[in-house]
Amino acid sequence: MTLLSLDLGGSHATCSLVHERSVVADEHLSFAESGSFSAVEPQIRDSLQRLAKSSLEPVSGLGIGFCGLADFRSNRVISTNGKYEDAPSFDFNAWAQNTFGIPARIENDARLALRGEMYAGAAQGCSDVVMFTLGTGIGGVVAMGGQPFLGTRGQAGVLGGHIPVREGGRPCTCGGVGCAEAEAGGWALPGICREWPGIAESSLATQPLNFKSLFELSDADDKTAKEILAHCLNIWAMMTVAAVHTFDPDLIVFGGGVMRSADRILPFIQNHVERHTWTHWNKPIVAAALGDKAAALGVPTLFHEGAR
């Protein structure tokens, strides 16, 4: 089966042509404005049409990973938290049928990435899995019994980045306070750094405030960078403990752009979880295997028989 994939982020998208467990071709798009899907639809439509025309086989469907709450069962977006505000009223299936002549199925982007890791990546053969993605935000998603954990309204397990980890902490975009994402997500990192004691004496004061510079300066023994990195590592570890106690997974997978430093992140979290969870069995924590192709490789599972 050959399918189209749309992995839709807040300011970017990846359009892919997928055949079974392989990404045949892809195109990466950036958006100046993502207030509505209608505003970016022409770019996305053109990209998907180019990919479909390049296919040697007929394309059977379009799978969409959406950067917000989406319910695969009803095939609709539920909530967007400020991105693509017209998406809950947009009929993606009708759009795909009218534009490409194929059906569309929509899923939360992190949940779709987990589907990909279970289908073709690090979580193959596992039935109960938690996956976190560390990047601009923090995505969290759960599978139980071999299927994504959905809940009554389609948002169960998908808000792992909004687990409260600090009383009286930083305000979050979700309306909460002290969420993991607000305390250690990429969008929050510049504010965390600027407010940190000693920032004026740190090399961070003259560097881009992102995780790349944070890890590099920590390795260079910058005191403030080391403190902020320790703060972030502890937040990610606390979040993981909460997931272990809540979902009892066979495996915990970490993905996202920050995992370029997996050799620093995973041993810390593994050690913390082993010391701070009330369990007596091994809790393996691994890096995602598929990188930015995980969501695309989750698309075939949306069209498998019995997927709904």
Q: What is the DSSP string of 57-72?
A: S-EEEEEEEESSEEET
132 lies in the same domain as 111: no
pLDDT in tens, 262-304: 999 999 999 999 999 988 777 799 999 999 899 999 999 999 8
Domain count, the chain: 2
Read off the pLDDT of each residue in 104-133 and give the average, rounded to a whole number: 94
Q: How confident is the model at residue 307 (pLDDT cuts 50, 70, 90)?
A: low
User: pTM of the predicted model, to two decimals?
Assistant: 0.89
Helices (H) and strands (E) in the chain, counts: 9, 12
151 lies in the same domain as 203: yes
Show the tokens assigned to 160. 């792992």
- Give the model's pLDDT for residue 237: 96
279 lies in the same domain as 297: no
pLDDT in tens, 65-110: 998 889 888 999 998 877 899 999 999 999 999 999 999 999 999 8
- Give the model's pLDDT for residue 68: 86
229 lies in the same domain as 178: yes
Query: What is the domain range of residue 94?
Result: 2-115+292-302
Residue 307 included in any domain: no
281 lies in the same domain as 163: yes
Asked whether residue 173 carries a pLDDT value surpassing 80, the answer given is yes
Look up the CATH number of the domain holding residue 161. Answer: 3.30.420.40
Residue 308 included in any domain: no
Mean pLDDT of the chain: 93
- Tell me the C-alpha distance between 287 and 241, whole Å: 17
Show the tokens assigned to 163. 């687990």
149 lies in the same domain as 259: yes
The C-alpha angle 76, 251, 127, rounded to 5 degrees, equals: 60
| Helix or strand holding residue 225 (H, E) | helix 223-247
- Tell me the C-alpha distance between 295 and 112, whole Å: 5
Least confident span in 35-44, 156-165, 190-199: 156-165
